[in-house]
Structure 1
Amino acid sequence: MRIEKVFAMPFANLYPLYLKKVASKGRSREELDAVIGWLTGYGTSEIEQQVGSGNDLEAFFATAPRQDLDALAIKGVVCGVRVEQVEDPLMRRIRYMDKVVDELAKGKAVDKIVGR
Structure 2
Amino acid sequence: MFGPFKPTNVALGGLLWKIPWRMSQPQKYRQRKRLQAVDKVIATVEEGLRLQGIEPIKSLTRLRNELPTEDQMPPKDKYTTFHRRSAKYRIGLHTIAKWTKKSLRTNPKGF
- Using the size of structure 1 for normalisation, the TM-score is 0.33
- Between 1 and 2, higher relative CO (CA 8 Å, sep ≥ 6) is seen in 1
Q: Which structure is higher in helix share?
A: 1
- Using the size of structure 2 for normalisation, the TM-score is 0.34
